[in-house]
Amino acid sequence: MTPDLLAPLDLAFWNIESDRHPMHLGALGVFGAHSPTAGAHAADLLAARAAAVPGLRLRIRDVWQPLAFGAAVRETDPDFDPLNHVRLHAPTADFHAAAGRLMERPLERGRPPWEAHVLPGEDGTSFAVLFTFHHALADGLRALGLAAGVLDPVDLPARAPRAIEPPRGLLSDVRRLPGLLPGLVRGVLSDAGRALDIGASLARSTLGMRPSSALTSTPSGTRRTAGVVLDIDDVHRVRKTVGGTVNDVLIAVVAGALRRWLEERGESTRGVAPRALIPVSRRRPRTAHPQGNRLSGYLIPLPVGESDPLGRLDTVRTAMVRHKDAGPDRGAGAVALLADHVPALGHRLGGPLVGQAARLWFDILVTSVPMPSLGLRLGGHELAEVYPLAPLAPGQSLAVAISTYRGRVHYGLVADARAVPDLDRFAHAVSAELETLLIACAA
């Protein structure tokens, strides 16, 4: 495979990483087990199948050539060995506790940056697999595709053949240049205007919003994870009653859970409005960087200080409508787009500073990860639960990732273990908040 130059945002993720802030995302899948040896069999299958997935053989190598000084490329690792990436662990009674400890460890940068940890359950009736992928290797959608490559084959509907355009010659491209130049100039000016707009919006976003101290912390390098499962029918019941989208309801649940959790801690929620970064995928089929991150985002204040649950939902819905009307290319949440305007060496030198600045940009990450509606299996064992896990930015203590799989919503929670020793209480608050919304809708 020809080396593939990392897109600017991928390079940013590669350089932001530190020992205390590994930049890998994860997914904890829980499978039903037919026998106590199911976990060991699953580990053997993962190792055997990984060798046949080209994307899992890719390592990231720094480049110091004159025309790409400070850049990095994805390339096939000639020494790839799946056994360096698939690990079978001792049986455990708590999959999330084990996943939290494993999420602390940075992936080895000298080989393909991914791992699959198989965690047999102590009771022999289940096992879990924790997949981790460096964010420079894959975004959530790409990671899902890589993980699917080592699960049991699934019959998918045939894709319609794509029409192939005849290649244009050099003379044809030259003849087209005069007509393209005005558009190119407008594009440059538009990009400059968009960058100024993003910068101004980012400055405004820091005014008048007060996050809770529980969402910021001195980095400890420790991790804790937890999971919550909600019934998608309950979410739809709320949506149909008050309007908006499923995503609006799921974000409002986070806002209400934060309020409940902080009050249980004895903290005041008056005026608290932490800035939530809601990533928005800009990926298009068959783009120039099909494996790279193509992300923008919306930055919205979570109405934690609002006491009325339906009022919180209305505030979230209004903010999301406003951002969607403006589009994902403007506003403070689109700051990731600025990575495209930074040279490779700038990412190399400025990566640590950018990472430290994340706490000035947003207070909590709330991201949605797409999942297929069809059932997934490994070695014939059905995937029952799947919790997406997002990386923590420096100085932040909590990240929330959400996926919907087979009629249930899964919240994957990642926290700094020292800053948030009571993550299970926040997980309980998520479930309680949906119940509160259902009661409010029925009133």
Cα 144 to Cα 383: distance, rounded to the nearest angstrom: 14
Radius of gyration over every alpha carbon of the chain, rounded to an integer in angstroms: 22
Residue 334 is predicted with a pLDDT of 42
Residue 380 is predicted with a pLDDT of 95
Could you read off the pLDDT of 287-321 as tens digits, one per residue?
Answer: 444 456 555 678 899 999 999 999 999 999 999 99
pLDDT confidence of 21, banded at 50, 70, 90?
confident
Rounded to an integer, the average pLDDT of 373-400 is 92
Rounded to an integer, the average pLDDT of 102-124 is 96
Residue 30 is predicted with a pLDDT of 98
**Chain centroid to CA 437:** 26
Q: If you average pLDDT over every residue of the chain, what do you get?
A: 82
Cα 260 to Cα 131: distance, rounded to the nearest angstrom: 31
Could you read off the pLDDT of 25-48 as tens digits, one per residue?
Answer: 999 999 999 899 999 999 999 999
Residue 178 is predicted with a pLDDT of 52
Rounded to an integer, the average pLDDT of 268-273 is 93
Residue 366 pLDDT > 90: yes
The proportion of the chain whose per-residue pLDDT surpasses 70, expressed as a percent, equals: 74
Residue 292 is predicted with a pLDDT of 60
Distance set, CA 71 to CA 2, 62, 113, 259, 273 (Å): 16, 6, 17, 43, 38
Residue 324 is predicted with a pLDDT of 86
Rounded to an integer, the average pLDDT of 52-70 is 84
**Pick from 37-41, 42-46, 274-278, 322-326: least confident:** 322-326
- The CA-to-CA distance between both ends of the chain, in Å, stands at 60
Residue 349 pLDDT > 80: no
Q: Going by DSSP bridges, is the β-strand pair 114-120/58-63 parallel, antiparallel, or unpaired?
A: unpaired
Could you read off the pLDDT of 184-237 as tens digits, one per residue?
Answer: 344 433 443 444 344 444 444 444 445 556 787 788 889 999 999 999 999 999
Residue 282 is predicted with a pLDDT of 57
Could you read off the pLDDT of 115-141 as tens digits, one per residue?
Answer: 999 999 999 999 999 999 999 998 888
Residue 345 pLDDT > 50: no
Residue 184 is predicted with a pLDDT of 37
Cα 76 to Cα 57: distance, rounded to the nearest angstrom: 5
Could you read off the pLDDT of 146-189 as tens digits, one per residue?
Answer: 999 999 987 544 444 444 444 444 344 444 545 544 543 444 33
For the entire predicted model, the pTM comes to: 0.84
Nearest to 363 by CA among 199, 204, 214, 201: 214
Match 């020809």 to its residue by tokens: 2
Residue 211 is predicted with a pLDDT of 55
